[in-house]
Amino acid sequence: MVLFLIFTAVTFSLFGFIIGIWADGFEKLQLVPMLIVTPLTFLGGSFYSINMLPPFWQKVTLFNPVVYLISGFRWSFYGVADVQVEISLGMTLGFMALCMGILRWMFKTGYRLKA
């Protein structure tokens, strides 16, 4: 549970850092959490099990990175998960690596950092 907590916190912190660098105003800063993060959270199985969905929508839901975060937490609390724990951990690490790669590129190129 602590491992999922740390990886999730680091991943969302990196994602927030990317949004903070990308946004050039308060309106743009609020756009991503409101239109992307909130729907992904609600559609990621936080309030229901994705096993309740029809087979087609179960497959579509697996493209949502939040599913793996929630499934990992659900496993750590209840011992039951929608996705295998190893896959959840791997996808969480993959999303974290993607965020780190984007940040590395932003710092290397000076994207929105150089005047």
Largest CA distance in the chain: 51
Residue 115 has pLDDT above 70, yes or no: no
* Mean pLDDT of all residues belonging to the chain: 92
pLDDT for res 2:
92
Contact 66, 40 (CB under 8 A): yes
Mean pLDDT of 34-54: 91
Helix (H) or strand (E) holding 16: helix 2-22
Whole-model pTM: value is 0.87
pLDDT for res 38:
92
Tokens 């609600």: give the residue: 42
